[in-house]
Structure 1
Amino acid sequence: MREFNITMLGARYVGKTSLLTSMYHEYQEEIEKTTIKINTDTRTASLLGKTLADLKSLNADSSNEGIKPTEFIGVDPKEIKPFIFEVGQKGKKSEIKLNFWDYPGVWNTEDIGEQKDKYVMNKIKESVAILIAIDTPALMAAKGKWHHKQNHPLQIINRFNKCYADLKSPRLVILAPIKCESYVQDEKSRQELTNKIKQEYKVLLDLFQSEALADKVAVVITPVQTVGNIFFSYIDVRQNTPLFRFKKQNPDAEYSPKDNEQPLKYLLRFLLALHLNNRLWGFFRDWFKWDEYLKQAIRDFAKDCKDSDGFEVVQGKKLLDIN
């Protein structure tokens, strides 16, 4: 089984684990439409199940401030384990294993010591894809006043500057603005969100578009409505700390995430292209079509990757080609 590492990158409270949970849940909602399967191990299913329960009960009362950060047992990097997804065709053995690494967000934003810093750097370097979770209300509300305090873009940009130096193999970077329900309801708002991302992450995008990286890094913007029925309302500032408040438009509305499967679709599309271009004896396997079932299964799943209405392939379209 071919294994791939993916790093969930973002600050504390941004919602990395919530994104992963909604991504998996929404795939399960679409499973009957596809020939592809995604299995999890017991630990992953348990942790995602707990987060899913929290998401479904989000904002049950007016004082709810959102999902609590993932609790990590211990602080030793050796104790952190990945969320595991195994991918294949229904009725057949899985062929691809996805290891999603989600570690404490403060490790990206604070002085954490040499051991943890080295751990984070290694995870980014060995990951074929990076999902950058962006807190959308912090990015957009109050003219972005709290963006740096919540999302810490400079620290994230610094990580890439170090880790992508002399990059040898292709990478996928997904910029995923989450909790974006209030900012994707019309074309004007969606364009404003896209423009704001490009503005605030311009230094990072310029790095990816440099001569050394332009043909090695695919970059995609995929806004996801993490919960779907809860919209940003206002910021309650206490002791110079913002508390982002949300509310339901309809008191009876249920958990209904939207577009959370899009990062997974793009990820599998990229990984399939990588898998087909690097496997042993690729020419002969193409000739006998040994991989055709997996290729077709993922192509069917990823055929409706969105590239409009706020979704955009910023660069690297050739790295996403599975034809």
Structure 2
Amino acid sequence: MTTVLNVVGARPNFMKIGPVLRALKAKGMAAPLLHTGQHYDAAMNDRIFADLGLPEPDVNLEVGSGSHARQTADVMTRFEPVLDEMKPDAVLVVGDVNSTIACALVAAKKGVRVIHVEAGLRSYDRAMPEEVNRVLTDQISDFLFTTEREAEANLVREGIDPARVFFVGNVMIDSLLFSLDKAVPAAATLGGLAGGYTLVTLHRPSNVDVPGVLGPLVECLIEMAAAAPVIFPCHPRTRARLEAAGLLAGIEAAGIRLLPPQGYLEMLGLMRGARVVVTDSGGLQEETTALGVPCVTVRENTERPITITHGTNTLVGTDPARVMAAFRDVLATGGKAGRIPELWDGHAAERIAAVLAERL
């Protein structure tokens, strides 16, 4: 039996791996799951696994937090003996987290074929650790599965053989469509508020670790809260930065609702009911496009341009004037209608499994 060892490490991976596991098993392949432990909040980890219907990992490396170098090295040294023992036919990695490049590199050096799901996305910003992970993982992968057609052009420009590239669609959207009926209604999470609100997430170091950026962004949120309720599920790290910068009092005074990190089904319900989403997340850009919800992205670039050209996303950077102009435009016009990108139809994982069943 063909064995594909599937690697996850952090929340963005969890949301994409479920459809892949189901599709591989439906094709008669063994699909063990390895969790590196890069995402180390045990309670949130268990909650998201349950929300997504993921099986208990067959292996957990339990690497925990650390610098980029330390975390990547820890994954590599703990992954190698597992790979030696399991002897899979291929290792499948998803996305762009440290676990992705770490496990891909170990597998490639041992002659084990590497499968990269969500290949070819580029922000062209090498200051982003995720961009470095994406570029390097693609270079050493044997099968590169892309979410949009432009990704193949990115890969070919970097010297990758088009015969290794397969346009299959977006497994993140597979998970979203699979889970939509189970989404927790916003009213259940917000004590009766069912819609008409602004949903905010901020977590990128370039936004939350720089007081000169974070402060003006918070001023924008306070201004938004005067026009519509603002719901802000806040990662503990972001909350710590807000507290250190002395910004929490202003947020609370404006009536902004700070929530703890939400489970996948709760977050899905919150997105679905939002009037607009303001975020620096890559995944939310895709999910809002699939849901038809306007999205304002507070980043200078994005590796997901199809959410702008086809979807509901507007990229505004962090300039307060641009952020507020985009927000007011959504309130006035309803925002970009967008359309669902090609092959974002809930069957990407099945296409991946079909290719692997034929070629492994």
- Using the size of structure 1 for normalisation, the TM-score is 0.37
Structure with the higher strand share, 1 or 2: 1
Structure with the higher helix share, 1 or 2: 2
- Using the size of structure 2 for normalisation, the TM-score is 0.34
**Higher RCO, Cα 8 Å, sep 6+:** 1
